[in-house]
Structure 1
Amino acid sequence: MRASRGSEAEVEERRQAVLRHVAEEGEIRITDLAERMRVSVMTMHRDLDNLHERQLLRKGRGVATAFSDVTMESALRFRENANAALKTALADALAEEVSPGDTVLLDCGSTLFPLARRLTSVEGLRVITNSLRVTALMAGSAAEVTLLGDRYYEDFESCAGPQSRRQLQDIRATVAFVTATSVRDGRLYHPVREYAETKRAYLQAADRAVLAVDHSKFGRTATYPYGDVGGYDLLVTDSDTPERELKPVRDLGVEVRTVDVRTDASQS
């Protein structure tokens, strides 16, 4: 078996892989997981204890069980650590849409966290967000940061609801960056109604709107549909997104920019 020790990043990468296996299969025996990941059963128990304490899965007697799809989608700690290289590459492309002095709306999706870090070095920005995490990431920068207030959702570490939407009605931003949980045939979906409506409000409050979605979100639906991609000016995604999902986006007149994560190169 492969040695279980490694850097903190390597251990977290293994745990994210464990979480994906459990999410895909629903329930797996712990001994089977250990064999699949090529670690000892004791190491696998430690990994599962960690994921269980973080409320990312359930660890039972001899088995690991996935939460529901909605719980997985709303587990910010899982989403933030997943596909880190991909999100970094997307952030490079997204940052090209921002100029000094802009007023920028930032959604609460974890896809935008690397972008928030990049924006700390842009002069004269005003950033408006419903995300406490984005606010924390930009702390200490020269940007003027405004946090939209409303009901706080712990799973998303952000606020959403009618008060946030009313605040957005009084704002005119240069550009809005918005994420999506699920996109299918050009239609947008979210598992929580308040977030579906808040994302639509972001779209209406900016002169230019950019949708940032990686390939894993395409071909899926969730409980609440909230329109289509046609309201956006630009979709930034990665080159693993299937063309059958990008065609409806282009048919709606939206520019598509793909990022090859292997080379970090943007392609039209």
Structure 2
Amino acid sequence: MTGRTTRNARQDQIADHVLREGSVSASQLAETFGVSLMTVHRDLDELERQGVVRKYRGGVSAQPSSVFESNVAYRLRTARAEKAAIARVARTLIEPGMAVMLDDSTTTLGVAELLPDAAPLTVITNFLQVINAVSQVDGVRLIALGGEYYPTHDSFLGVPCIEAIESLHADVLLTSTSAASGGLTYHQEQEIVLVKRAMMRSATRKVLLMDHTKLGGTALHQLAPLADFDDVVVDAGAPADVLRTLRDHQVNVHVAPLDTP
């Protein structure tokens, strides 16, 4: 095994460890993998460059903050039961013959996996994982939104993506975002905010999918008022006072039970 292969394998193992733990100190990584602190920092610099992790003084994190969104690999590991429950309810809002737009959130990936029995459908998305999930489904016409590819999100963003969205119209948009509170929704990254806003403008019905961990927080950029959405789907872990607040903003609130098989 060459030095480069060993280094790449170690970086893969470090990435998997951080994604699993969420946050860990550099000294813990050095001890776990039996390498020097300097070697760990070099590995973390490379993983940060790839958008897998985010370094902070003394350690590294895969978790999101109010400024940084987490890598898609980390998001796929979190709130899985809640996202699956939300996806089942969101699927009931889709009817055969619709044009359905899905953003690059991991919650919408769960919906995409439930779409085969809703065909025929047109699916519009910028999320590579959704593209892969529906590309071979009988009866699904797929429109893949191009643009600049962002590995951190496994999706296409930027001006070409927005222009493609603006040339289309969907019956329903299923979207998620990082945080919601005070009647507003938020996301950490402006490129994603701009794409989500374009999707909202291009859809008749706008459905927001939010697991309860995202409720009550904020992030760097305002996305849109809650009142701009027609429906909000949350899981049953959402507190009663938060549900009341959501309903106060004149949106249809759907609560997804977590015990659905």
On whether the aligned pair clears a TM of 0.5, the verdict is yes
Partner of 1:134: 130
Corresponding letter in the other structure for 1:66: S
Counting only pairs closer than 5 Å after superposition, residues 125-204 of structure 1 correspond to structure 2 as: 125-142=121-138, 143-204=140-201
Matched, 1:97 2:93: yes
Give the residue type in structure 1 aligned to 2:21: V
Residue of structure 2 equivalent to 1:210? 207
Spell out, residue by residue over 1:34-55, the C-alpha distance to the aligned partner (whole angstroms, 9 max, x if none). Answer: xxxxxxx86999xxx9x96693
**Could you tell me which of 53, 73, 79 is aligned with 1:77?**
73
Q: What percentage of aligned pairs have identical amino acids? A: 24
Partner-residue secondary structure (3-state), 2:83: helix
1:65 paired residue among 27, 45, 60: 60
Deviations 1:116-139 (A, max 9, x none): 111133221100011111101112
Q: 5+ unaligned residues in a row in structure 1: which ranges?
A: 1-12, 32-40
- Residue 200 to residue 42, structure 1, CA distance change in 2 (3 Å): closer
Question: How far apart are the structure 1 equivalents of 2:94 and 2:20?
Answer: 34
Letter in 1 for 2:243: L
Would the alpha carbon gap of residues 94 and 204 (structure 1) be closer, same or farther in structure 2, given more than 3 Å must change? Answer: same
Q: TM-score, normalised by structure 1?
A: 0.75
Q: In the alignment, which residue of structure 2 is the partner of 1:247?
A: 244
1:217-228 correspondence runs (5 A): 217-228=214-225
Secondary structure (helix, strand or coil) at the match of 1:69 reads coil
Rounded to whole Å, the distance in 1 between the matches of 2:66 and 2:246 is 25
TM-score (norm 2): 0.77
Aligned to 1:8: none
Maintained 8 Å contact 2:67/2:220: no
Q: 1:179 to 1:59 in 2, by over 3 A?
A: closer
Distance 1:79 1:206, change over 3 A: same
Q: How many residues align?
A: 233
Report SS of the residue matched to 1:74: coil
After TM superposition, give the deviation of residue 162 of structure 1 in Å. 2.8
Task: Give CA-to-partner distance per residue, 1:174-221, whole Å, 9 cap, x none.
Answer: 111011111112211111112112111211212211100101111111
Separation of aligned partners in 1, 2:157 and 2:56? 31
CA contact (8 A) 2:69 2:189 kept: no
CA RMSD of aligned residues (A): 3.1
Separation (CA, whole Å) in 2 of partners of 1:94 and 1:71: 28
CA contact (8 A) 2:180 2:216 kept: yes
Distance in 2 of aligned mates of 1:28 and 1:164: 38
Is the 8 Å Cα contact of residues 56 and 78 (structure 1) preserved in structure 2?
A: no
What is the distance in 2 between the residues matched to 1:145 and 1:121? 15
Contact 2:124/2:144 (8 A) holds in 1: yes
Aligned to 1:34: none
User: 1:30 maps to which residue?
Assistant: 28
Deviation at 1:170, TM superposition (A): 2.4
Q: Partners of 1:121 and 1:210 in 2: how far apart?
A: 20
* Kept after mapping to 2: 8 A contact 1:237/1:257: yes
Quote the offset at 1:64 in angstroms.
5.0
1:86 CA drift (Å):
1.6
- Classify the secondary structure of the residue corresponding to 2:168: coil
Aligned twin of 2:7 = none
Match of 1:38 in 2: none
